[in-house]
Each structure stands twice: as structure tokens, then as C-alpha cells.
A = this chain, B = another copy of it.
Amino acid sequence: MKILVADDDRDLLELVAFMLVQDGYLALKAGDGPSALSIFAAEAPDLLILDINMPGLSGFQVCEEVRRTSRVPVMMLTVRGEEEDLVRALELGADDYLNKPFSPRTLLARVKALLRRARLEVASPVSAGRLKLDLEEHTLQIGAQPAIRLTKLELRLLQVLLANHGRAVSSDRLLIQVWGHRGAGDRELLKQLVHRARQKIEREPANPEILQTVPGAGYRLLVD
């Protein structure tokens, strides 16, 4: 489940993304309005969390633009007391709003409620090239081969890599997206996870064709 968060407050952006990742979502980050729109177009996230106060393109404008083409659930972040903002957000088609500051529990509860309302609580299979990842079944299908069962972590790893297939994803980012950031020495975990994943999905685990290493940079998923 991909969620796009847009906020110009760097700290808050990281914090929200962190909370989402902790709860099992895949978080996409945008620091301003224009990049929110381009990420939205490129990644087709399942939910948007937009700060209203962003320089350049405000959350309102992003929401308005998104609503021209999509009914994706939108949650607005507002500053407490701005009654006008709230009304306008709802007029523009936002589905919910949250007053800053908010607690992690609140944010997650509302995100979950919104997704449920959008009936997206049931995740649909994600596919690219000859790879098809079924988030419900926890399986990966390669071409016409029988589906391979994956564990939770393997699924998350492949989900992140698949969302960026063809491009290298840094180890740091993988750590954050899969585990939700830990100590510096946790590269061991990633090493292990990649190894186990390769045992399962590669024809020849020693010469990976799908889950490839990009020396010094991270890993990359090739889909064809």
C-alpha cells in the first residue's frame, strides 16, 4: 500500500513517513507541491497526505489538480484553528483532515479508516514486467512459473524494489522502508534478507538475474 506524503517541513515529513513505514505501508516523500504531483503521476499511490502550507504550490492546489483525474483518498494537514482552511479543503474534495500537532496513533487510525472507506484495505496484486507480487497471498509469480510464498520481510523488500524496478535502491533506504530504521550495524539484516530472497526466487542464486547487487549503491530489481 503506497502512501504519498507532501510537506515542506523536512522533520515532519520524515516523521510521518517513518510512522507509516513502521505500520507496514510504503511511504513516498515529497518536499513541495510540484514534486508531489510528479510523484503522484509516476507512482499512483493509494492515499495522499498533503500539508496545506507549502511554498509554491499549496496543498489545496495539489488536491485540486489531483482531483481532476483521480478519486484517490486525500488527507490534509491543517494548522489548528484555521476554520476556513478546513471548509475549503472539504470543498476541494479532500476526504479528511488532521490538525497539527497530532499523535502517531491518530494519524495511523485515520489512514486506516480512509483506506478502508476507499475499500482499498484489500491490496491488489502489483506487477511489473514478468513479476507479479500478490500482497494478499504473500506470493511472487515470475512469468508463468508457480507462485512462490514469501515471508513478511521478503514481501516488503520486493515491494520496495518493485516500486522502483530497474533503478538501484540504496541499502539505507531499504533498511528504512523494510524495518523502519535501526542502528547503523543493521546492514547484516539486509544482507541476510537478500540472500534468503535470492534462494527463493532466483534460478541460480549465486548469479542473480532478478535481484541484482549494485556494488557500493544497493540493490536493483530487473523485471525482464
A-to-B contact residues, CB < 8 Å = 80-81, 83-84, 86-87, 90, 96-99, 102-103, 105-106, 109-110, 112-113, 117, 119, 121-122, 136-138, 149-152, 155, 164, 167-170, 173, 214-218, 220
Contacts and interface: CB of A to CB of B under 8 A. Distances in A.
B83 A102 contact: yes
A119 B97 CA distance: 16
A contacts with B: majority SS: mixed
Each complex incorporates copies of this chain amounting to: 2
Contacts of A155: 216
Given A84-B103, A136-B217, A151-B216, 12 more contacts: A81-B99, A83-B103, A90-B109, A90-B113, A96-B113, A121-B173, A122-B164, A122-B167, A136-B169, A138-B168, A150-B216, A155-B216
B96 A137 contact: no
A90 B112 CA distance: 10
B99 A137 contact: no
B215 A138 contact: yes
B138 A113 contact: no
Contacts of A98: 83
Given A81-B80, A138-B215, A87 B109 contact: yes
